[in-house]
Amino acid sequence: MRPDEALAPTLDTDTPFASDGGAGHSAEPPRVEPPRDHYGLLYGASAPMRDLYQQIAKVAPTALTVLIIGESGTGKELVARTLHEKSPRSGGPFIPVNCGAIPATLIEGELFGHEKGSFTGAVQQHAGYFERAAGGTIFLDEITEMAPDMQIKLLRVLETASFHRVGGTEQISTDVRVIAATNRDPQVAVQEGRFREDLLYRLAVFPLRVPPLRERTSDIELLARRFLEQLNAAEKSRKRFAKGTLDDLRQHHWPGNVRELKNAVHRAFILADEEVEVQNPEPAPRNRRVVRREGSLELAVGIPLPDAQRELILATLAHFGGDKRQTASTLGISLKTLYNRLDTYKHGNGET
């Protein structure tokens, strides 16, 4: 069971894009909307994405707290922004906060603000993110990286809709919708003692899972064309994909998900004169004994050594964005050896 399934509420199967067949109109057949390739800030026409659109459309108009679960690079902030834009709070501010990037000693003051003189260097009153998000949405990214003592304070805010600035006694009411996100399995974080179970269920009133790119490969061409279109518009150019490039992109594993695809297209766009060609796309693993995640590689015991070497080389090359010189240096092999290996892999032979 996926982490979102363990938390998910029951949904009906009505599409959010269907017309409203109200009472008294049962004789009229329901209209079927044409397929859509995007919703809000999200792009994709695959079944997993259309299911995500449906769930967003159901929860966006409500005041429910949402927990977005997805791997790095899948577009969790875009989901949060789409929720905000489709909500009654769309006219209010959207305040993103990376909980993992703020030191534990500073995060309370950043979230809730502080009074003048509350600590050394507090020369004036400071409004925190919750105050600045009044009437809108606050997006707490990497929520499972928040320090335990801060989790308790956040839980109280969610329960009472109020807080105190650091060094203050005035209770401040907050009118904010909270959307949180994590790239971890939140249930595992709870089991490991890294995250409070009561806070998890306060945040996951309505969990949303963002599918990784490997589960929506039919969207790769659409996304790649979208990125190229945006780059052409920004640079006032008319570059196009080279023949076979889109087929190669569809075969790539994309461990960094949509972010990696976007960066690959952007890098190739910069290097191209007229035809954009993404160099050395990494073929998908041929067996499930290899699991690639951003910045790491897991190999099952018993995998043949040539296959292990192949996976390590290709994963390192992908990690460095196709930079062969840096890849060879990191792996401790010559650039000539790397080229020979890549040529071997290109022709479908996994032996070294």
Q: What is the DSSP string of 209-265?
A: EPPPGGG-GGGHHHHHHHHHHHHHHHHT---EEPTTHHHHHHHB--TTHHHHHHHHH
Pick the CATH number of 38-116+125-209 from 3.40.50.300, 3.90.180.10, 3.40.50.2300, 1.10.606.20: 3.40.50.300
The rounded distance, in Å, linking the Cα atoms of 331 and 17 is 50
Task: Specify the amino acid at residue 111.
Answer: L
For the chain, give every residue range classified as CATH 1.10.10.60.
290-348
Q: Write down the pLDDT at residue 302.
A: 66
| CA 303-294-309 angle, 5° bins | 30
Whether domain 290-348 has CATH 1.10.238.10: no
Residue whose C-alpha is closest to residue 179's, from 289, 275, 86 = 86
Q: Are 197 and 190 in contact (CB under 8 A)?
A: yes
Residue ranges matching CATH 1.10.8.60 in the chain: 213-276
Question: Amino acid identity of 248?
Answer: D
CA dihedral 78, 81, 82, 85 (to 10 degrees): -160
Span(s) in the chain for CATH 3.40.50.300: 38-116+125-209
Q: In angstroms, how far is the first alpha carbon of the chain from the final one?
A: 38
pLDDT (tens place) for every residue of the chain, 352 residues total: 454 444 544 333 333 433 333 444 444 444 445 347 899 999 999 999 999 999 999 999 999 999 999 999 999 999 999 999 999 999 999 999 999 888 887 888 889 987 886 766 766 778 889 999 999 999 999 999 999 999 999 999 999 998 888 887 888 889 999 999 999 899 989 998 999 999 999 999 999 999 999 999 999 999 999 999 999 999 999 999 999 999 999 988 888 899 999 999 999 999 999 999 987 665 555 444 566 665 677 777 667 777 788 888 888 887 777 888 888 888 888 888 888 888 777 655 444 3
Q: Check: pTM over 0.85? Answer yes or no.
A: no
The fold adopted by the segment(s) 213-276 is Helicase, Ruva Protein; domain 3 (1.10.8)
* Cα of 335 vs its chain's centroid, Å: 34
139: its two tokens: 């997006």
Q: How far is CA 33 from CA 19, 57, 59, 80, 316, in A?
A: 8, 15, 20, 24, 44
